[in-house]
Structure 1
Amino acid sequence: MRGDVERTVFGRFENGTEIEKFVLSDGTGRSASVLTYGARLHSLVVPDRAGALANVVGGYASLAEYECDPHYMGATIGRFANRLRDGRFEIDGAVHRAAPNEGSKTLHGGPHGFDRAVWRFVRASASPHPTVVLAHTSPDGDQGFPGEVCVEVAFALRQGGRLSIEYAATTNASTIVNLTHHAYWNLHDADTSSDASDHRIMIPSDRYVPVDEDMLPTGERLSVEGSPFDFRTKRCIGDDIDDPNDRQIAIAHGYDHSWLIGEGARGLRNVALLESSRTGRRLEVWSDQSAIHLYSGNFLGEAGAGRKPMASRSLIALEAQNVPDAPNLPWAEDCILRPGETYRSTIIYQLGVAPDNADCADASSAR
């Protein structure tokens, strides 16, 4: 099958700036579309067990909706994914503070993170597999972060339903970097508002990171044993998503937590598996990062002007990244990038079809 890359204009801002869309097609019906606004994954079309094609990632129909998006829908996240307490971090004894955008906290890089940037087109090719490469330069002091950071991201649609996302970043002054991709998933069909909490999930992790009332790490690393956070064996997300006896579930109104993956290990590894028994679609997430963050879409239903309505828990985010507030946790993986070094990270989304299994119990029965 012959792959292809189609380049079109997705929309324009009021100042005339064009946002482009690149559609990567593998010749089998599978396709992925990428926007230059926020280096976002706009759609990912794959077959179900009957061969029927559907989009499985959340997105919007118009640029205006993306401008109003508070959920980081399909976006590249940087400079620092997840939360920083009071925006504070220290490098070589010097204290820095990033711009706050969630109370006193800095979330996903600040008010104008990489998700709000217009990325530059670098190159595209159809062979050996459909690929597009985008770039962004974050100037010194951007959102309070030191140093100029130059980032490239390559999206490639490979054989057998594999979408790879590869990040590379350099800096001219020591800074912190923690990049991730914020795709939202519904393997039934992401263009509907069907409940995604009946998806089966597996996370091969013995420990997770509990949070306080501000959704920041307490500093502990707790065993998942006997808790709603034990996904070492595949089961439904909705089984314990409203457990009235679990304080962590109550704080987050569901799941909005990080699991530690391969502690001390390096290299690409399977960090999560997601399945729809309704359609048979299966997603494997592979990453070289130290954590996987599961957000169960608890607040997607909040009303917002200028964008299409969504239902709470109709989409699920799986974010491969360093742990939240890593610069302020003594046990977290180092996130400082220095001049002469290159930050690299890889995320692979492997889409396929799972064996037939019984549906999960209706999530409402567990509430």
Structure 2
Amino acid sequence: MTDTTASATRPRSGRQTHLAAHGYEAVIASVGASLRTLTSDGRDLVVPFGADEVRPAFRGATLAPWPNRIVDGRYAFEGVEHRLALTEPERAHALHGLVGWTDFADRHVADDRAVLVAVIEPQTGYPFRVEVEVEYRLDAAGLTQTVTARNLGADAAPWGTGPHPYLVAGDSRVDDWTLTLPASQVLTVTPDRLSPVAVEPVSAHAEWDFRDSRPIGDVFIDHAFTGLSRVDGVAEVRLTTDAGTGVAMRFDDRCPWVQVHTADASERIGLAVEPMTCPPNAFASGVDLVVLEPGAAHAASWTISAVLRPPPRP
């Protein structure tokens, strides 16, 4: 249900919508259609933030119409050059799209489901009109978020999306958790600006090879991964404690990429896991870029669920 607090006392993160089902509880903040909290039987599965707090960076936000970075904010689409505002000024990139600070409207709200919507209006650097619909739904499998884009304009539009949760396995920090990341390739980046360099096998970068579960330790990660192995079409990134409890994130092949970040600037309190429909700088490179024709729609989804303690061996 949605908090109908008067505008005079409206929380900084926007309207608050509380969802509950099957032992899961989530709170969605309308600014950025952000996942503010998610718990399973009272245990945090993501790093939360306060309702009356300005959301820390992109924690829990919906990323659209592109995830990650566009280098120098420059790209060409259908023969036209575009230049976006540099929203990551310290690295001079356009970061994480255009809707992160947009106040989404409610389209549908129920006890276990909320649908929010906003429209990206044509603007400098992105002269396209695209509706962004964000659905959050709780069931026995966890919290599923689905982002659907609809091109409302007369011209084709470039598109990409993804989420930005910081997953939490337990009460300790990233260094103490075990990561399973079924990716055979990593996109290397420059050390200063994190600009993409090349897709390389993780076998050549042992520090980022988590195909076999192992503790993260003090490894720094802020990279996009691909070459994902899947079971029945679904990839799973898993984060667990020594006790075996934790959190998992699952997504299908509509997200062939996943960004993973150890949140070093936030004292490694959570692991960012961001399934993406395209890699960093896709507007410029064209790699896995979705092209929305006029009137067309595109949807992608991902699910966060609790990992429970395994049963004792007989």
TM-score (norm: length of structure 2): 0.88
Instruction: Name the amino acid aligned to 2:150.
Output: T
Give structure 1 regions of 4+ aligned residues with deviation exceeding 3 angstroms.
9-18
How far apart, in 2, do the equivalents of 1:18 and 1:185 lie? 20
How far apart, in 2, do the equivalents of 1:73 and 1:10 lie? 23
**1:266-345 maps to which residues of 2 (within 5 A)?**
268-278=233-243, 280-287=245-252, 288-300=254-266, 312-321=267-276, 322-329=278-285, 332-345=287-300
Is the 1:166–1:346 contact (alpha carbons within 8 Å) kept by the matching residues of 2?
A: yes
Instruction: Name the amino acid aligned to 1:157.
Output: L
Instruction: Name the amino acid aligned to 2:283.
Output: P
- Identity rate, percent: 21
How far apart, in 2, do the equivalents of 1:153 and 1:324 lie? 21
For 1:144, which of 119, 125, 131 is the aligned residue? 125
How far apart, in 1, do the equivalents of 2:7 and 2:121 lie? 24
- Shift, 1:337, TM fit: 2.0
What per-residue deviation string (whole Å, max 9, x for no partner) do you get for residues 44-69 of structure 1? 1114xxxxx22221222233432xx3
Aligned residues: 303
- Shift, 1:285, TM fit: 2.5
For 1:257, the equivalent position in structure 2 comes to 223
TM-score (norm: length of structure 1): 0.76
How far apart, in 2, do the equivalents of 1:35 and 1:139 lie? 21
The verdict on how the C-alpha distance between 1:341 and 1:114 changes in structure 2, with shifts beyond 3 A counting, is: same
- Shift, 1:12, TM fit: 4.6
How far apart, in 1, do the equivalents of 2:188 and 2:103 lie? 34
Query: Is residue 105 of structure 1 aligned with residue 84 of structure 2?
Result: no
- Shift, 1:200, TM fit: 1.0
The 3-state SS of whatever aligns with 1:60 is: coil
- Shift, 1:73, TM fit: 1.2
How far apart, in 1, do the equivalents of 2:103 and 2:45 lie? 24
How far apart, in 1, do the equivalents of 2:223 and 2:311 lie? 29
**1:181-220 maps to which residues of 2 (within 5 A)?**
181-189=163-171, 194-212=172-190, 213-218=192-197, 220=198
For 1:24, the equivalent position in structure 2 comes to 19
The verdict on how the C-alpha distance between 1:211 and 1:12 changes in structure 2, with shifts beyond 3 A counting, is: farther
The 3-state SS of whatever aligns with 2:183 is: coil
The verdict on how the C-alpha distance between 1:255 and 1:11 changes in structure 2, with shifts beyond 3 A counting, is: farther
How far apart, in 2, do the equivalents of 1:344 and 1:268 lie? 16
How far apart, in 2, do the equivalents of 1:318 and 1:16 lie? 26
The verdict on how the C-alpha distance between 1:324 and 1:18 changes in structure 2, with shifts beyond 3 A counting, is: closer
- Shift, 1:284, TM fit: 3.4
- Shift, 1:15, TM fit: 9.3
Instruction: Name the amino acid aligned to 1:106.
Output: A
For 1:236, the equivalent position in structure 2 comes to 215
What per-residue deviation string (whole Å, max 9, x for no partner) do you get for residues 164-198 of structure 1? 11111112132222111111122214xxxx42221
Is the 1:34–1:42 contact (alpha carbons within 8 Å) kept by the matching residues of 2?
A: yes
How far apart, in 1, do the equivalents of 2:138 and 2:9 lie? 32
What per-residue deviation string (whole Å, max 9, x for no partner) do you get for residues 31-51 of structure 1? 11111111111111114xxxx
Gaps of 5+ in 1: 1-5, 48-52, 242-253, 301-311, 358-367
The verdict on how the C-alpha distance between 1:15 and 1:297 changes in structure 2, with shifts beyond 3 A counting, is: closer
The 3-state SS of whatever aligns with 1:61 is: coil
For 1:61, the equivalent position in structure 2 comes to 50
The 3-state SS of whatever aligns with 1:333 is: coil
The verdict on how the C-alpha distance between 1:10 and 1:290 changes in structure 2, with shifts beyond 3 A counting, is: farther
More strand per residue: 2
Is the 1:12–1:63 contact (alpha carbons within 8 Å) kept by the matching residues of 2?
A: no
How far apart, in 1, do the equivalents of 2:282 and 2:38 lie? 31
- Shift, 1:18, TM fit: 9.1
The verdict on how the C-alpha distance between 1:81 and 1:257 changes in structure 2, with shifts beyond 3 A counting, is: same
How far apart, in 2, do the equivalents of 1:61 and 1:343 lie? 32
What per-residue deviation string (whole Å, max 9, x for no partner) do you get for residues 182-234 of structure 1? 11122214xxxx4222111111111100001310101x111111511111101
